[in-house]
Amino acid sequence: MRIDRKVAQILEAVQEGRAPSQEACATLLAFPETTLESALVRAAGNDVTRRRLGSGGHLFGQIGIEFSPCPGECRFCSFAAASTQFGTSVMSDEEVLRNVESFTAAGELEALFFMTMHPFDLHHLLHVIELARGRVPSGTQIVVNLGDFDAAQARELKGAGVDGAYHVLRLREGSDTALDPGRRMETIQAAQRAGLDWWYCCEPIGPEHSPGELAEQIFFGVNHGCVAHAAMRRVYLPSSPLAARGQVSELRLAQVTAVVALATMHSPAVKLIAVHEPNVLGLASGANALFAEAGANPRDTEENTTGHRGRDILACKKMLYEAGFDTIHIPAGKTVALADAYLASV
């Protein structure tokens, strides 16, 4: 049984504590997901995460509080104005609170995310955040997933009790989207300067993305100081302009997730590596975090993703348990045994 020499050298260096370069990560991503080399990369990613970050998993939730035909025109999104089947809807206060309580009642959620379309109503968002802050347990963070915003808006969000922002300069931004890559970067900088934690991801991964593109995308987060990294595949949407390009397998997604784990092994700020959508393969390849979802979801064709593409808290706990995590991190820096948290609720 022979292993590619370059891959062997890179993984030997990882075992000796040396993180791979961007070029080395592109090499690791150049092998099909069914090869022995890819299997070794996944094993190395899993080993690095368990050694570096321990055997505790992380649970997060996201509520999509609105949907409408979006002028961002992301060609992979179910809300893109040119191809969407959705109208316009804004979640009522009562619905917001029901979802907040559903996600946080057990006190297991570390952070709760609120997602809008690219254009968003800051006044309404601040109202939603105020509602949520009155209900979430102490220590549960609030994070936003929004369109581009400026420095003043970032400060307002921080002042309202928002802890972080998920914002990505995505694969082929500006060609597969109608958004300005420079403006995306300005938003990331505005969030960081306002004191918001910056959450990042290599996304949305498709079969057409080269190893070099993926490595560059991964290292953008590493080089600019993200506090959480991830990998997410593009989901096949029949009405999407990118439907003909297809969708990568969960096995390929796990390979990319593993490379994220290796690339961030010396990034002290990165304590979380998520895989989207949640799956056990990713959790056995370097991921240690999952997201449950409710409300609008840009990868779903249903108005409420609950019970469709979106996973609930119990399903995420099951995946973490099956992937061998023995605890989950909960607010205030505490942990709870995953067997207690999951098996008791089955």
pLDDT tens digits along 7-23: 999 999 999 999 999 99
Q: For residues 167 and 164, what is the distance between their CA atoms, to the nearest angstrom?
A: 10
Mean pLDDT of 89-113: 95
Query: Sign of torsion, CA 178 192 164 120?
Result: negative
- What pLDDT does residue 304 have? 84
Classified by CATH at the fold level, domain 5-11+28-343 comes out as: TIM Barrel (3.20.20)
Q: What is the DSSP string of 277-294?
A: S--HHHHTTT--EEEEEE
**286-322 pLDDT, tens digit each:** 999 999 999 999 998 888 888 888 899 999 999 999 9
Q: For residues 202 and 191, what is the distance between their CA atoms, to the nearest angstrom?
A: 19
The encoded tokens of residue 89 equal: 């809807």
Is the pLDDT at 341 greater than 80, yes or no? no
Mean pLDDT of 262-278: 96
Phi, psi for residue 242 in degrees, rounded to 5: -100, 5
Is the pLDDT at 1 greater than 90, yes or no? no
Q: Is the pTM of this model over 0.85?
A: yes
Is the pLDDT at 276 greater than 80, yes or no? yes
Q: Are 320 and 338 in contact (CB under 8 A)?
A: yes
- What pLDDT does residue 159 have? 98
- What pLDDT does residue 345 have? 65
Q: Residue 288 to residues 28, 164, 189, 285, 328: CA-CA distances in angstroms? A: 20, 19, 26, 9, 10
The band of 239, judged by pLDDT with boundaries at 50, 70 and 90, is confident
- What pLDDT does residue 177 have? 97
- What pLDDT does residue 89 have? 95
Q: What is the SS3 string spanning 76-140?
A: CCCCECCCCCCCCEECCHHHHHHHHHHHHCCCCCCEEEEECCCCCCHHHHHHHHHHHHCCCCCCC
Is the pLDDT at 244 greater than 70, yes or no? yes
Is the pLDDT at 72 greater than 80, yes or no? yes
Nearest-CA neighbor of 111 among 196, 174, 25, 24? 196
Rg (CA), the chain: 19
Beta bridge partners of 290: 59
How many CB atoms within 10 Å of residue 60?
25
Is the pLDDT at 343 greater than 80, yes or no? no
Percent of the chain that is helix, strand, coil (3-state, to 5): 40, 20, 45
Q: For residues 238 and 61, what is the distance between their CA atoms, to the nearest angstrom?
A: 26
Is the pLDDT at 108 greater than 70, yes or no? yes
Per the prediction, the chain carries an average pLDDT of 95
Mean pLDDT of 49-64: 97
